[in-house]
């Protein structure tokens, strides 16, 4: 608990850019007894504060008190409640995050919306914040936490850059809200190749990445209390956007013992009369799983039986290895309403250009009203990035440079082979071989390492070896026994990094 409290305190202080002395000064104003030595003991983990001091620290840092004390709850809090200031100061202290008193009048402070109460996006959360703080202090951090190909030397195909440059002068204005005709036509033809049924050009929406469309599609659908089945582990934006839209993300388990495939019985057991939709992520982030046709068929059967919308996130569909084929679930469900998401961030290594799309297919009659809502929200954001739309046709046609990465001898393939082998050689670590994408989700032997907090594990690895990974909890995985590695770095760097993780784990025993 002590260890946990001090690291949370350090993370929150880095996050809010607060120094130890700031607490001491603020405490004076609130007539709270808090000396420099107390603060340094809390920060170093020698002691934990009494309840009233903990309350003050949490309020000053604007974090959830339970989180600060090491509990498994979100970091953020809404209300900031501090005792009234008994001070003759008239100038508000810019470091103080609390309600300020000016001539006896309590000033209003601004907290974030309650809509964010259940929203968590920890892939870029406190551990990444701590890494940013260390970087700012001059420490080099090796980041294996975000699937961003460009920093690891994955270059955008020349033709894509050339074509965007050529078209730049013609892409200054807004496009139609769903996107340029040429882009949507190319996506429509792509849908035909994937056997996605009943797709016209009007059924294609481009977006500023798949991210924007995940948010848009859930905002247009959900009323308060509606339930959506989301995988665990998941790409956490899905859970966050369901909750942000007022819905409830109900997690179904993906089974590590079965290649990380969704557990069909678990899906069935989680359906209620409030369930409106099921999300699948195929190929999967964070596990790298690729779902076979029989499994997809079983999911379709459930969706049919319970009249659910299928949302299928297929952004990694062109990053499939071992000669396997990706099957779009929508191709198996012509009688259901499906929304299929993909984009160019990963397959064309242009995550920064921000271009993705969603394809409506199958039985669109049952979703007429919902589609009106989608149109309304798409219109409200005018359109997606037009220069990026202008390269969709080029990107989806002709030679697919990504294919060179995923065959034997290609970078993604060879990096996967290495990372899979090296991780499995570490005592206390096991990992299922990913079939697609560029992630692996290894399991830690929690007994061997005495791990009770995966976030703490990530922080310890960061502090000790300057390696940033994402803890399993960031992917809505309930047990503290997994972490995700992005295996985008080159072989030499990966070798070094995984050896460092092995070295770290050879003595690791969580306090
Ligand atoms: C499964 C999944 N869906 C969607 C996204 C977001 O992609 P985009 O860059 O198109 O917003 C990511 C990004 O990592 C992802 O892993």
Atom in ligand 1 nearest the alpha carbon of residue 437: 16
The domain of 44 spans 2-112
Final residue of a structural domain among 347, 380, 396:
396
| The token pair that represents 64 in the structure block | 């959830």
> Residue 106: phi, psi to the nearest 5?
-80, 125
Is residue 355 domain-resident? yes
Phi, psi (deg, nearest 5) at residue 251: -90, 130
Q: For ligand 1, is residue 285 a contact (CB within 6 Å)?
A: yes
Residues 276 and 361 in one domain: yes
Same domain, 373 and 415: no
Question: Alpha-carbon dihedral of residues 398, 214, 15, 149, nearest 10 degrees?
Answer: -10
Cα(26) to centroid(ligand 1), Å: 42
Report the number of distinct structural domains present in the chain. Answer: 3
Q: Which pLDDT does position 398 carry in this prediction?
A: 79
Is the minimum distance from the CB of 476 to ligand 1 under 6 angstroms? no
**Is residue 233 lining ligand 1, measured as CB closer than 6 Å?**
no
Ligand 1, residues 206, 208, 237: which to mutate, most atoms within 8 A of Cβ?
237
User: Domain check: are 369 and 409 in the same one?
Assistant: no
Nearest CA to ligand 1 atom 14: 147
Judgement on whether residues 142 and 181 belong to the same structural domain of the protein:
no
Torsion 420-423-425-431 (CA) sign: negative
Q: Which atom of ligand 1 is nearest to the CA of 208?
A: 11
440 and 373 together in one domain = no
- Regarding whether 162 and 147 lie in a shared domain, the answer is no
- CB of 351 shorter than 6 A to ligand 1: yes
Same domain, 29 and 105: yes
Domain end among 375, 396, 417 = 396
Distance CA 230, CA 228 (A): 6
Measured CA to CA, the distance from residue 270 to residue 290 in angstroms comes to 23
pLDDT tens for each residue of the chain, 511 residues long: 445 888 899 888 888 888 888 888 888 877 788 887 788 778 878 778 888 888 889 888 888 888 888 888 888 775 545 544 444 443 444 444 455 556 678 888 888 888 888 887 776 678 999 999 999 999 999 999 988 888 888 888 889 999 999 999 999 999 999 999 999 999 999 999 999 999 999 999 999 999 999 999 999 999 999 999 999 999 999 999 999 999 999 999 999 999 999 999 999 999 999 999 999 999 999 999 999 999 999 999 999 999 999 999 999 999 999 999 999 999 999 999 999 999 999 988 889 999 999 999 999 999 999 999 999 999 999 999 999 999 999 999 878 888 889 999 999 999 999 999 999 999 999 999 999 999 999 999 999 999 999 999 999 999 999 999 999 999 999 999 999 999 999 999 999 999 999 999 999 999 8
The CATH number of the domain holding residue 471 is 3.90.1150.10
Cβ of 247 closer than 6 Å to ligand 1, yes or no, is no
Inside any domain, residue 58: yes
238 Cα nearest atom in ligand 1:
3
Q: Do residues 213 and 295 share a domain? A: yes
The DSSP letter of residue 155 is P
Q: What is the CATH number of the domain that holds 269?
A: 3.40.640.10
Cβ(281) – ligand 1 distance below 6 Å: yes
Tokens of 289: 């799983």
Residues 302 and 424 in one domain: no
Q: Is 210 in the pocket of ligand 1 (CB under 6 A)?
A: yes
Q: What is the CATH number of the domain that holds 16?
A: 1.10.260.40
CA of 333 to the centre of ligand 1 (A): 24
Residue 283 near ligand 1, beta carbon < 6 Å: no
- 321 & 414 share domain: no
Check pocket membership of 211 for ligand 1, CB cut-off 6 A.
yes
Ligand 1: centre distance to CA 161 (Å): 21
Whether residue 117 is contained in a domain is answered as no
Q: Is the Cβ atom of 147 under 6 angstroms away from ligand 1?
A: yes
**Among 285, 248, 259, 201, residue whose Cα is nearest residue 472:** 285
Residue 448, C-beta contacts closer than 8 angstroms, at least 6 positions apart: 427, 428
The response to whether residue 345 sits with its C-beta less than 6 Å from ligand 1 reads yes
Residue identified by tokens 């990694």 is: 316
Q: What is the per-residue pLDDT for 78?
A: 57
Per-residue pLDDT, 146: 85
Expressed in angstroms and rounded, the spacing between residue 210 Cα and the centre of ligand 1 is 6
In a domain, 87, yes or no: yes
Closest ligand 1 atom to residue 147 Cα is 14
| Last residue within a domain, chosen from 396, 422, 447 | 396
Closest atom of ligand 1 to CA, residue 284: 1
Which residue shows structure tokens 């940013």?
132
Answer yes or no: do 243 and 278 share one domain.
yes
Q: Report the distance separating Cα 198 and Cα 361, nearest Å.
A: 6
255 and 360 co-located in one domain:
yes
Query: What's the 356 CA to ligand 1 centre distance in angstroms?
Result: 9
C-alpha of residue 209 to centroid of ligand 1, in Å: 7
Residue 315 beta carbon below 6 angstroms from any ligand 1 atom: yes
How far is ligand 1, taken at its centre, from the CA of residue 314, in Å?
A: 9
How many CB atoms are located within 10 Å of the residue 72 CB?
Answer: 13
Cα 486 from Cα 442, distance rounded (Å): 11
């Amino acid at each position: 608990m002590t260890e946990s409290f001090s690291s949370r305190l350090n993370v929150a202080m880095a996050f809010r850019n607060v120094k130890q002395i700031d607490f001491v000064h603020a405490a004076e104003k609130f007539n709270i007894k808090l000396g420099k030595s107390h603060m340094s003991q809390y920060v170093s983990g020698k002691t934990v504060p009494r309840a009233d001091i903990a309350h003050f620290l949490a309020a000053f840092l604007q974090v959830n008190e339970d989180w600060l004390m090491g509990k498994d709850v979100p970091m953020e809090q809404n209300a900031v409640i501090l005792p009234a200031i008994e001070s003759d100061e008239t100038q508000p202290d810019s470091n103080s995050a609390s309600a300020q008193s000016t001539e006896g009048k309590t000033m209003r402070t601004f907290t974030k919306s309650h809509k964010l109460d259940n929203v968590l996006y920890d892939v870029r959360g406190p551990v990444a914040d701590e890494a940013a703080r260390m970087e700012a202090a001059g420490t080099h951090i090796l980041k294996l936490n975000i699937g961003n190909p460009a920093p690891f030397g994955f270059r955008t195909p020349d033709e894509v850059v050339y074509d965007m440059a050529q078209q730049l002068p013609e892409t200054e204005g807004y496009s139609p809200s769903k996107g340029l005709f040429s882009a949507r036509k190319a996506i429509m033809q792509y849908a035909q190749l994937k056997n996605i049924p009943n797709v016209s050009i009007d059924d294609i929406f481009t977006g500023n990445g798949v991210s924007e469309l995940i948010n848009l599609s859930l905002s247009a659908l959900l009323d308060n209390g509606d339930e959506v089945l989301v995988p665990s582990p998941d790409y956490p934006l899905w859970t966050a956007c369901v909750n942000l839209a007022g819905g409830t993300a109900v997690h179904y388990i993906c089974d590590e013992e079965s290649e990380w495939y969704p557990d069909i019985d678990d899906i069935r057991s989680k359906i209620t009369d409030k369930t409106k939709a099921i999300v699948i992520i195929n190929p999967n982030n964070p596990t790298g799983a690729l779902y076979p046709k029989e499994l997809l068929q079983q999911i379709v059967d459930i969706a049919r039986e319970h009249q659910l919308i299928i949302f299928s996130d297929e952004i990694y569909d062109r990053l499939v290895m071992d000669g396997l084929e990706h099957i779009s679930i929508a191709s198996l469900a012509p009688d259901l309403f499906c929304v299929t998401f993909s984009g160019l961030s990963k397959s064309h290594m242009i995550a920064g250009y921000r271009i993705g799309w969603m394809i409506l297919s199958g039985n669109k009659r049952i979703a007429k009203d919902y589609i009106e809502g989608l149109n309304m929200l798409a219109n409200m954001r005018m359109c997606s990035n037009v220069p990026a739309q202008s390269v969709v046709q080029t990107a989806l046609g002709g030679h697919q440079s990504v294919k060179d990465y995923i065959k034997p001898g290609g970078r993604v393939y060879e990096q996967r082979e290495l990372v899979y082998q090296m991780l499995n050689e570490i005592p206390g670590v096991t990992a299922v071989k990913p079939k697609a994408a560029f992630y692996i989700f290894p399991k830690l032997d929690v007994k061997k390492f005495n791990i009770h907090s995966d976030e703490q594990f990530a922080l310890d690895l960061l502090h000790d070896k300057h390696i940033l990974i994402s803890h399993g909890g960031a992917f809505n995985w309930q047990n503290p026994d997994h972490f995700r590695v992005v295996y985008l770095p080159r072989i030499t760097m990966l070798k070094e990094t995984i050896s460092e993780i092995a070295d770290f784990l050879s003595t690791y025993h969580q306090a």
